[in-house]
Amino acid sequence: MDDPNQSQNCSEANQPLDAFYVSAFSFIFLFGLVFNILALIFFFRFTKIRSQTTIYMKNLACADLLLVVSLPLRISYYISRQPFALLVCELNGLIFLVNMYGSIFFLTCISLDRCVAICFPMKSRLNELRKRASWISAGVWALVVGASIPPYVLVKIRKSASNDSCNLCFDKSPDYVTNPLTVATTLLVGYGIPLVTIVICSLALLRGVRRSSATRMDLVDWHKIRNMVATNIVIFVICFLPYHTVLLLYTVCGASSRDVLHKAYRLTMAIACCNAMLDPAAYYFTTETFQKSVGIKALKNALTSNTESGELNNRSVSPVNT
């Protein structure tokens, strides 16, 4: 713990939004913990189907659970206003980044996997790539952890050289993520490309399913699939767009707006954390639609050839394996 007198000089007690942060993080912690533990229990114990999409969902639930278990530290801070050790505060911030970008990339992987499975069932190379979901997941973890550390290390070196001894913990300026070069890379690779990918995959999936014979024969509930796609996009936009918008404003606004942006940054962090309890909604729609509503073999055949509809009527509907 830092010296109390120094902490009092570095940060103000009883900030107006403290009660909001305590309530918000407590709510996210409670529901995020319950929902993600239940999701992992379902994936590991009650799901007989081992699929590529399920692998990504397991990793997404783990990323969310990692964030959830880090929230009590933030809750304690906003209740007592006594900063923890600087290293503890910074590691907690890195966990937030790892969760957010892990969630972004795993949601993107899920969308890509579904799109390839349904729209391109006969592309052997793409389907071979789908079978490497475990390796792709490991790559995502390596990417998000590796990409989160360098900006932090550079700022750490710079601040130690300037003898900055003030520990603001969760109230400090987010210098390691608001560097212009970091912001540009983050907006392009960390959010822009995944968002465009999810939108394109979602539109392709909806178009393919809507025009398929399986939909016309009521083997597929198109409305459920539409709700599933809408849920993913809404989660992606509501949780992550405000945060990245604030990052962009850091690079275009002058120093006079820094205080306002710091407050907006902390607010959008709380909003971004909501993905930890909203992602299970995506699991529900995915498993409901693709494991219970349609046989993947029938749907693949319907999408590849509309002339095979007679055979599809004679086939039994089995759980999906996407």
- pLDDT, tens only, 149-205: 876 676 566 555 445 555 677 887 787 788 888 889 899 999 999 999 999 998 888
Stretch among 12-21, 42-51, 309-318 having the lowest mean pLDDT? 309-318
Residue 176 · residue 94 · CB < 8 Å:
no
What is the model's pLDDT at position 310? Answer: 43
pLDDT of residue 166: 58
Confidence (pTM): 0.80
Q: What superfamily would CATH give domain 13-306?
A: Rhodopsin 7-helix transmembrane proteins (1.20.1070.10)
At 314, the pLDDT band (50, 70, 90 cuts) reads very low
Burial zone of 156 (CB within 10 Å; 0-12 exposed, 13-18 middle, 19+ buried) = middle
Among 289, 286, 108, 112, which residue's Cα sits nearest to residue 205?
Answer: 112
Q: Nearest-CA neighbor of 12 among 85, 90, 83?
A: 83
